[in-house]
Amino acid sequence: MPNASSTAGPSNGATDGSKPTESPRRVAVLGATGSIGRNALSVIEASDGRLQAVALSGHRNFDRLVEQAIRLKPRWVVATDAAAAGRHDWSQLPAGTELLKGPKGLEKVAADAGVDVVLAAIVGSTGLASTLAAIGAKKTVALANKETLVMAGPLVRQALGAAACKGHDELLGGGVARLLPVDSEHSAIFQAMRCGGRDEVERVVLTASGGPFRTWSAESLTQVTVDEALAHPTWNMGPKITIDSATMMNKALEIIEAHWLFDLPADKIEVVIHPQSVVHSMVEYVDGSVMAQLGPPDMRLPIQHALEYPHRRSGPAERLDWTQTHRFEFEPADLDRFPALKLGFECAEAGGTSGAVLNAANESAVEAFLEGDLHFTEIVPACRSILESHTFDSDPTLERLVELDRWARQEVQTWACA
């Protein structure tokens, strides 16, 4: 396996905080207008020239996209909703920036020779095609879009040539392409895995804030409103992942993500509630030692870790203030009040088509909840019912996954109309 510098584009030279002596790492920020995308741009802008945003994408928030392009002067801007893009006034785009309209533009920039790192920060299964294009073009992919792995974990691993993986550096890709986690929990696990060998890992422990309803009774959960579900206590994120955090489906997706990223069976993955969101996750080794990664709940830190990997640099993320008293609590996850977690473990164990069905059913159910067509407590039962009624395939093709994705979304509509 080549070393990280060679897989992530030109080396950045300086390791002592001085100005870089070599070319910047060229980053395509897919989903630049979203929460992760905006945080990534703040990391890039604070990188002292080590990182350069060469492509930015947005789906419909074109005013923000243009404002970002004026600031960062990328080579490409991709406006994925082609119809909406056709109606927009793009006259303010910088002179050297090329505008690409429609989703194919994502695949084009993800595979272009002028890109070193692709930050996959589009929400939902629409992020899959560009992630696969980036892997196919042997890029380093900084993966925020967990739905890609949940939906198509076996295909992504196959594309990475992951069968040959051995040590911690090879965990995420045995070929030339590389997948680096951006999700804070998986970034923490990735970092903690550097403390020992793969065969010395006893289990990984994913931490979960517990979301806004951590202490709510099962009965009061039936009364949850959209505004209450959108008010996350520790993280400021896009609406879909915020609802997923409230149902704890986000943790279910992360269980499946951890399974595919680290090649871990479901029984080696645990979830523990940690309301402060400071311990981002842990790795327990066979001798009982537990390695954790800590930091404030600020996504700029895991984003920077992925974009600058394997280097650590000073960046814009907040710091823990050790002059203050901190109390860190851990409590067991309640699988009865938050049954989404059970689905996560079941899908990680089953593999095959189950992740794609769960992911699509959940995306569609969250949309229906946000539109007032489904109760909060119906989201997970709808997903379970659809998952149980699908025809399981242990070794699906991409076409089959896409077909099931479409089918599961239609099934949710039946639930929403019932």
At residue 84, φ and ψ (nearest 5 deg) are -65, -35
Q: Is the peptide bond before 103 cis (omega within 30 degrees of 0)?
A: no
Taking the complex as a whole, the smallest distance from the CB of residue 31 to ligand NAP amounts, in Å, to 4
Interface with ligand NAP (CB under 6 A), residue from 7, 145, 304, 354: 145
Map the footprint of ligand NAP across residues 304-333, applying CB under 6 A.
none
> Binding mask 37-76 vs ligand NAP (x if CB under 6 A, - otherwise)?
x--------------------xxxx---------------
Q: Are 108 and 342 in contact (CB under 8 A)?
A: no
Choose between 254 and 308: whose C-beta lies nearer to ligand NAP.
254
Among 82-90, 156-164, 232-240, 268-276, which window interacts with ligand NAP (CB under 6 A)? 232-240
Please count the residues of this chain forming the interface with ligand NAP, following the rule CB under 6 A.
27
Taking the complex as a whole, the smallest distance from the CB of residue 401 to ligand NAP amounts, in Å, to 17
Taking the complex as a whole, the smallest distance from the CB of residue 164 to ligand NAP amounts, in Å, to 27
Choose between 20 and 298: whose C-beta lies nearer to ligand NAP.
298
Residue 152: closest CA among 410, 405, 416, 417:
405
* H helical segments located in 225-353: 226-229, 239-247, 249-262, 300-308, 340-350
d(CA 325, CA 383): 41
Choose between 35 and 209: whose C-beta lies nearer to ligand NAP.
35
Taking the complex as a whole, the smallest distance from the CB of residue 59 to ligand NAP amounts, in Å, to 3
235 contacts ligand NAP (rule: CB under 6 A): yes
35 contacts ligand NAP (rule: CB under 6 A): yes
Q: Estimate the share of the chain in helix, then strand, then coil, as percent rounded to the nearest 5.
A: 45, 15, 40
Please give the annotated binding residues for Mn(2+), written as ranges. 183, 185, 254
The token pair that represents 256 in the structure block: 């499946």
Taking the complex as a whole, the smallest distance from the CB of residue 1 to ligand NAP amounts, in Å, to 26
Choose between 235 and 392: whose C-beta lies nearer to ligand NAP.
235
Task: Write down the residue that tokens 């080396």 correspond to.
Answer: 11
In order, the DSSP letters of 350-407 are H-TTHHHHHHHHHHHHHHHHHTTSS-GGGHHHHHHHHHHHS---SS--HHHHHHHHHH
Choose between 122 and 347: whose C-beta lies nearer to ligand NAP.
122
356 contacts ligand NAP (rule: CB under 6 A): no
The token pair that represents 107 in the structure block: 């695949």
Choose between 241 and 357: whose C-beta lies nearer to ligand NAP.
241
Side by side, which strands form the sheet with 279-285? Answer: 290-294, 279-285, 201-208, 269-273, 331-332
Q: Are 155 and 118 in contact (CB under 8 A)?
A: no
Binding site for ligand NAP (CB under 6 A): 31-37, 58-61, 80, 121-123, 126, 144-147, 183, 235, 237-238, 240-241, 299
